[in-house]
């Protein structure tokens, strides 16, 4: 029950934030990315607001021994910057620029019922499944090779 | 209200969501990670909060539509073929790099994660180059 309440309420607040800040308008997102055109700084304000609250809030929250309803906090941040991280981020950026959707706004926009948004989300899920499947078969291959 | 002020407040709400999720559940509010954990071949064990979070996301514009008459969702800017290609790239990319605009951009930067900083610099750069090529070169 706690899981349900925590997930539903934080998802709702997150979605509200995306809607109010126009992140559910891909034209606004692409306007931010178009530095050679009529640049739209909206997305920078969203990131600034998000990081300001999260940076300060995390400082207080992470002083606790454990989460209020949970058992542990995520492990400390890692400094390991590898090819998978950079190539993945590069690929994500290309898709983000092409359509103006990152995962959050795309899922929120499903509420409009537009078939085009559903297409984007289904393709995104397929891409995620492909990587997860590839990683799992590679891990299985490694286990076989070492046993 | 000025759109930039509203954008800052909207961003602040995203921050409130991220802080609450960390405070109560000890989890990172990264949308790509939350979604990916529900997918095959091996979905995560903690599916309840993930499904609830996604329901909450979709519920937000629905409640806005009922209360204000405007769900604040604008139509896509490109056609279906490009949307499918972009969706695939976003899915593959965020899975490979374990995060998107929320997980790396908001939560990771707020934790001063070098990995997230590198990811954000990379995806903002390739996104800007992509938009530049599509709008000003092609």
Q: Could you tell me if A40 lies within 8 Å of chain B, comparing CB atoms?
A: no
The structural domains of chain B, with segments of one domain joined by +, span 3-137
Residue B135 DSSP label: I
* Token pair of A132 as six digits: 């997860």
Is A109 part of a structural domain of the chain? no
Model pLDDT for residues B45-76, shown as the tens digit of each residue: 999 999 999 999 999 999 999 999 999 999 99
Q: A13 vs A8, A67, B15, B56, CA distance in Å?
A: 9, 19, 9, 8
Q: Could you tell me if A31 lies within 8 Å of chain B, comparing CB atoms?
A: no
The series of mean pLDDT values per 10 residues for chain B, 138 residues long, is 95 98 98 98 96 98 97 98 98 98 98 97 98 96
Is A37 part of a structural domain of the chain? yes
What is the value of pTM for the model shown? Answer: 0.97
Q: Could you tell me if B92 lies within 8 Å of chain A, comparing CB atoms?
A: yes
Distance from CA of B75 to the nearest CA of A (A): 7
3-state secondary structure chain A: CHHHHHHHHHHHHHHHHHHHCCCCCHHHHHHHHCCCCCCCCHHHHHHHHHHHHHHHHHHHHCCCCCCCCCCCCCCCCCCCCCHHHHHHHHHHHHHHHHHCCCHHHHHHHHHHCCHHHHHHHHHHHHHHHHHHHHHHHHHHHHHHHHC
Q: Could you tell me if B43 lies within 8 Å of chain A, comparing CB atoms?
A: no
- pLDDT value for A79: 87
The residue of chain A with its CA nearest to that of B26 is A73
> From the list A50, A69, A103, which residue is nearest B31 (CB)?
A103
Is A46 part of a structural domain of the chain? yes
Does the CA dihedral B128-B124-A93-B20 come out positive or negative? negative
Q: Is A81 in Cβ contact with B118 (below 8 Å)?
A: yes
B-chain CB neighbours of A112 within 8 Å are 61, 71, 73, 75
A-chain CB neighbours of B7 within 8 Å are 20-22, 42-43, 45-46, 49
Higher pLDDT, B48 or A142: B48
Is A143 part of a structural domain of the chain? no
- pLDDT value for B58: 98
Q: Which residue, chain included where needed, has tokens 């995520």?
A: A74
Sequence-ordered alpha helix ranges (H) in B1-138: 3-25, 31-36, 47-68, 80-96, 109-110, 114-132
Mutate to test the interface with B, among A56, A89, A111, A121 (most CBs of B within 10 A): A89
Is A130 part of a structural domain of the chain? no
The 3-state DSSP class for residue B104 equals helix
- pLDDT value for A80: 92
Is A11 part of a structural domain of the chain? yes
CA distance B110 to A52: 8
């Amino acid at each position: 029950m706690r899981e349900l309440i925590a997930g539903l309420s934080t998802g709702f607040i997150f979605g509200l934030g995306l809607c109010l800040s126009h992140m559910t308008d891909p034209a606004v997102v692409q306007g931010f990315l178009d530095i050679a055109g009529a640049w739209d700084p909206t997305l920078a304000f969203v990131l600034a607001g998000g990081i300001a609250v999260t940076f300060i809030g995390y400082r207080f929250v992470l002083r606790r021994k454990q989460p209020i309803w949970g058992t542990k906090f995520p492990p400390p941040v890692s400094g390991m910057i590898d090819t998978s991280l950079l190539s993945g981020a590069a690929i994500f950026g290309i898709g983000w620029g092409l359509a103006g959707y990152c995962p959050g706004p795309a899922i929120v926009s499903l509420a409009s019922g537009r078939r085009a948004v559903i297409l984007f989300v289904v393709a995104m899920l397929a891409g995620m499944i492909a990587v997860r499947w590839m990683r799992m078969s590679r891990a299985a291959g490694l286990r076989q090779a070492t046993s | 209200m000025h759109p930039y002020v509203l954008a800052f407040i909207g961003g602040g709400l995203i921050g409130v969501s991220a802080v609450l999720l960390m405070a109560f559940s000890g989890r990172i509010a990264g949308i790509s990670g939350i979604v990916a954990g529900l997918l095959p071949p091996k979905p995560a064990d903690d599916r309840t909060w993930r499904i609830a979070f996604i329901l909450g996301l979709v519920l937000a514009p629905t409640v806005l539509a009922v209360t204000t008459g405007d769900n604040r969702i604008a139509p896509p800017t490109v056609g279906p073929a490009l949307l499918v290609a972009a969706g695939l790239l976003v899915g593959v990319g965020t899975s490979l790099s374990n995060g998107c605009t929320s997980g790396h951009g908001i939560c990771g930067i707020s934790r001063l994660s070098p990995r997230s900083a590198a990811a954000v610099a990379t995806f903002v750069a390739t996104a800007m180059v992509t938009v530049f090529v599509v709008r000003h070169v092609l």
